[in-house]
Amino acid sequence: MLENRFSWKDNKPKKTCAIIRFGAIGDMILCSALFPALREAGYSVVLYCQDNDGYRAVQNDPNVNRFIVLGKDEIPPIFLEEFFNYTKKKYEKFINLCESVEATLLASPGRSNWDWPNEVRAKYLDRNYLEWTFELASLEWSAAYRPKFYSTLPEKAWAKEKSRSYGRRNVLWSLSGSSGHKVWPYLDEVMKRILETYPDTHIVLVGDEYCRLLQSGWDGYAKDGKFIEKQINPRVHCMAAKWSIRESMAFAEVADLIIGTETGLLNAAGHMDAWKIVTLSHSSEEMLTKHWTNVIALNQPKGVGCNKHPCRQLHGSNNHDPWEDCPFHADESMKVALCQYHVTPDMMWEAVRQVLGQPQRMVA
């Protein structure tokens, strides 16, 4: 016979801390740096989050004692303040990180800082995301506390086997972020250079359903009005919308080079050993990559492109048009943010060569 369990009867830890973070992948990875710091301070850590890929990115973190996972808008926005005030009474320490980066350091449409002069945003919002998160938590940051993705043993084994089945070296390419300004337009050109120059190297393309459009041409062809899925090049593996975010992050742990824009995957990889190449859009190096290891951050050259770069604006938030106040280049196929358009293929290729080095002759 089953018995009801009453959680209020459980022994309560002496020190408890609640973190509330309703965020996407990069947001959750960022706040993961707090978990070990709080555990070392003696707290039992409870994380309130949403049921999305952000939660899945941190769900195996051993420094979290309990996850309380809520559906999107399960608590209606008009009741959030009431929920926060009620919840904080149950814990010795309460850390609310909702909108701690978005709408604060990255201005959102409808907020006053969205309309600030760009030089004012640069002066007051150019804060490192990691350091800022610790400051909001009233904790002292040190290099010992870094965002971390915890893959499981089966995920590690899967990633190693995938890596072995591909090439001697593997480039993991994150195709797009959450908005239009997080797309770099010269993917095909640099991929061709890599394939021609480094015969021992494979390229793995990852991302969400939208990213399948960006890998089109490498994953099949159209015939009689139908799409025929086929591996066009044996050294290009089109995994957008096929791999989960955890699979992509697990593969990042064994990749030789990771490339992308300001995406959740790049945030997770920021403190991994592999080299990263990231094309910056709304963030500065101070804000995003200051504490990353083995990273090359690419910005549009001075004097060309978007005159606001980095704009420190969260384009497309609050249900606004993603191109609102975002200068772009448009051709027949797509819009591209100027800050991405002016990071040239040659700039990316030079960064790739810095990591992969001079091509080596294959040994038979």
CATH code (residue 66): 3.40.50
Do 214 and 67 belong together in one domain? Answer: no
| Cα–Cα distance measured from residue 181 to residue 186, given in angstroms and rounded to the nearest whole number | 14
Give pLDDT, residue 59. 97
Give pLDDT, residue 2. 57
Could you tell me the residue range of the domain that residue 286 belongs to? 154-356
What φ, ψ does residue 228 adopt, rounded to 5°?
Answer: -105, 115
With respect to residue 55, please indicate whether it lies within any of the assigned structural domains.
Answer: yes
With respect to residue 6, please indicate whether it lies within any of the assigned structural domains.
Answer: no
Of 87, 106, 136, the residue at which a domain comes to its end is: 136
Do 254 and 161 belong together in one domain? Answer: yes
CATH number at residue 164: 3.40.50.2000
Do 171 and 264 belong together in one domain? Answer: yes
With respect to residue 148, please indicate whether it lies within any of the assigned structural domains.
Answer: no
Give pLDDT, residue 13. 87
Give how many domains the chain has, as a whole number.
2
Do 348 and 203 belong together in one domain? Answer: yes
With respect to residue 141, please indicate whether it lies within any of the assigned structural domains.
Answer: no
With respect to residue 45, please indicate whether it lies within any of the assigned structural domains.
Answer: yes
3-class secondary structure per residue, the chain: CCCCCCHHHCCCCCCEEEEECCCCHHHHHHHCCHHHHHHHCCCEEEEEEECCHHHHHHCCCCCCCEEEEECCCCCCHHHHHHHHHHHHCCCCEEEECCCCCECCCEECCCCHHHHCCHHHHHHHHCCCHHHHHHHHCCCCCCCCCCCCCCCCHHHHHHHHHHHHHCCCEEEEEECECCCHHHECCCHHHHHHHHHHHCCCEEEEEECCHHHHCCCCCCCEEEECCEEEECCCCCCEEECCCCCCHHHHHHHHCCCCEEEECCCHHHHHHCCCCCEEEEECCCCCCCCCCCCCCCEEEECCCCCCCCCCCCCCECCCCCCCCCCCCCCEEECCCCEEEHHHHCCCHHHHHHHHHHHHCCCCCCCC
Do 103 and 187 belong together in one domain? Answer: no
Give pLDDT, residue 40. 97
Shortest CA distance to 190 belongs to which of 361, 20, 355? 355
Q: What is the pLDDT along the chain (364 residues), one digit of tens a residue?
A: 556 767 777 778 889 999 999 999 999 999 999 999 999 999 999 999 999 999 999 999 999 999 999 999 999 999 999 999 999 999 999 999 999 999 999 999 999 999 999 999 999 999 999 999 999 999 999 999 999 999 999 999 999 999 999 989 999 999 998 777 899 999 999 999 999 999 999 999 999 988 888 898 898 777 777 777 888 899 999 999 999 999 999 999 999 999 999 999 999 999 999 999 999 999 999 999 999 999 999 999 999 999 999 999 999 888 889 999 999 998 766 789 999 999 999 999 999 999 999 876 554 4
What is the pTM (predicted TM-score) of this model? 0.93
Do 61 and 127 belong together in one domain? Answer: yes
Dihedral angle computed from the Cα positions of residues 220, 245, 211 and 104, in that order, rounded to the nearest 10 degrees = -170
Strand partners, 201: 169
Do 269 and 342 belong together in one domain? Answer: yes
Do 78 and 204 belong together in one domain? Answer: no
Do 106 and 170 belong together in one domain? Answer: no
With respect to residue 3, please indicate whether it lies within any of the assigned structural domains.
Answer: no
Do 272 and 187 belong together in one domain? Answer: yes
Give pLDDT, residue 363. 46
Do 158 and 72 belong together in one domain? Answer: no
Of 110, 136, 162, the residue at which a domain comes to its end is: 136
With respect to residue 25, please indicate whether it lies within any of the assigned structural domains.
Answer: yes
With respect to residue 328, please indicate whether it lies within any of the assigned structural domains.
Answer: yes
Of 103, 136, 169, the residue at which a domain comes to its end is: 136
Do 126 and 181 belong together in one domain? Answer: no
Give pLDDT, residue 1. 53
Give pLDDT, residue 243. 97
